Amino acid sequence: MNKRSLRSFAFGLFASSSIIGAYTVYNHAETSAEPDKKITTEQAEKVLSAAGYTTVANEDYEELVAAKEEEDKAAQQAEADKKAAQQEVPKKEENEPVTYKLKIKSGMSPGEIADTLAKEKIIKDKEEFEAFLIDNDYHTKVQVGSFRVYSDMSFREIAEKITK
């Protein structure tokens, strides 16, 4: 390496370190020249109201939350009262027999018939009725059609009615 190359290299180092130093000093001076920006409550309220928000004090917020909870409880109570009123619909007397028009379609199994009768409160135990039909060979004689059945009928009466 000759003298000239060495001087050029040294000048390059000096120039680059000068540029980096100037940038650091300038950038640091620029950030420190800005004062700490602190926003006031009034400024925050203006910004929020301009954006469509509403500000509320903590005490007012807590009162609103408490009022909302009371309103929700009242709505739940009203809903429960409404359900209770619906359940208090005048029920049929316990001794009054239930009437149902049973429609038997082609291909219905004894289980489907027993299930329908149990759903309509004509019989109490669908498995027992299905077993009765099968044990007494009524399941092979069931006729297609509509039959009026009552809850006070015995299994035998119902079976004879639907097999005629």
Q: Which residues contact 51 (CB under 8 A, 6 or more apart)?
A: none
Assess whether 71 and 106 both reside in one domain: no
Assess whether 112 and 81 both reside in one domain: no
Rounded to an integer, the average pLDDT of 96-117 is 90
**3 state SS of 101:** strand
Assess whether 19 and 65 both reside in one domain: no
User: Does some domain include residue 50?
Assistant: no
**3 state SS of 15:** helix
For 78-100, the pLDDT digits (tens) are 998 888 877 765 555 566 788 99
Neighbours of 100 (CB within 10 A): 16
Phi (first) and psi of residue 91, to 5 degrees: -90, 155
Binning pLDDT at 50, 70 and 90, where does residue 145 land?
very high
Q: What is the pTM of this model?
A: 0.43
Assess whether 103 and 158 both reside in one domain: yes
Specify the number of domains making up the chain: 3
Assess whether 82 and 107 both reside in one domain: no
User: Does some domain include residue 40?
Assistant: no
Domain containing residue 64: 56-87
Assess whether 105 and 140 both reside in one domain: yes
**3 state SS of 102:** strand
Name the average pLDDT for the chain: 87
Assess whether 103 and 152 both reside in one domain: yes
The CATH number for 105's domain is 3.30.1490.480
For 11-62, the pLDDT digits (tens) are 999 999 999 999 988 887 666 555 567 888 888 888 888 999 988 888 999 9
